[in-house]
């Protein structure tokens, strides 16, 4: 698995498209797991998975227990690591702004950070983008 992380409009999708021009793309939606990401992409060497922050936001609304939520996104990541193709995750950086006052917004920010840490830990390669500039971290 590989990870591409950066803030909004930092160039993450462009980087993935340039590095993996023949990849299949899947936008993760509410309730999906790794298996649903792979449907329709059989035979592809690379699958780019986008929409993790939106997926996580929907999961937060449905799963009030943080430990259960953590298990949900860990299952997703482990399923993508075990996929028969290379998964490339497009991850959102949310840690560079003002910490929200709203508890739900803070919970999203916290889980997004933990999810990104777990994804990068499982990734063999990780890139960070800021202002269109890319740095390979791993």
With b for 16 or more beta-carbon neighbours within 10 A and e for fewer, the 70-85 pattern comes to eebbeebbebbeebeb
* DSSP type of residue 93: -
What class is the 2-136 domain? alpha beta
Mean pLDDT of 11-16: 96
- At 39 the pLDDT is 87
Q: Express as a percent the part of the chain with pLDDT over 90.
A: 88
Mean residue pLDDT across the chain: 94
- At 97 the pLDDT is 79
Return the domain boundaries, the chain. 2-136
- pLDDT tens profile 48-89: 999 999 999 999 999 999 999 999 999 999 999 999 999 999
Strand (E) or helix (H) holding 74: helix 66-81
- At 115 the pLDDT is 97
Polymer length in residues for the chain: 138
- At 3 the pLDDT is 98
- At 95 the pLDDT is 83
- pLDDT tens profile 99-123: 889 999 999 999 999 999 999 999 9
């Amino acid at each position: 698995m590989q990870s591409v992380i950066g803030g909004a409009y930092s160039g993450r999708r462009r980087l993935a498209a340039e590095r993996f021009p023949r990849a299949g793309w899947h936008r993760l939606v509410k309730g999906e797991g790794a298996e649903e990401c792979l449907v329709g992409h059989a035979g592809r060497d690379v699958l780019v998975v986008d929409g993790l922050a939106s997926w996580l936001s929907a999961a937060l609304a449905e799963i009030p227990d943080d430990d259960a939520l953590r298990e949900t996104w860990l299952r997703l990541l482990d399923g993508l690591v075990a996929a028969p193709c290379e998964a490339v995750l497009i991850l959102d950086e949310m840690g560079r702004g003002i910490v929200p006052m709203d508890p739900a917004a803070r919970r999203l920010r916290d889980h997004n950070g933990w999810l990104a840490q777990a994804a990068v830990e499982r990734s063999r390669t990780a890139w960070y983008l800021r202002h269109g500039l890319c740095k390979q971290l791993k």
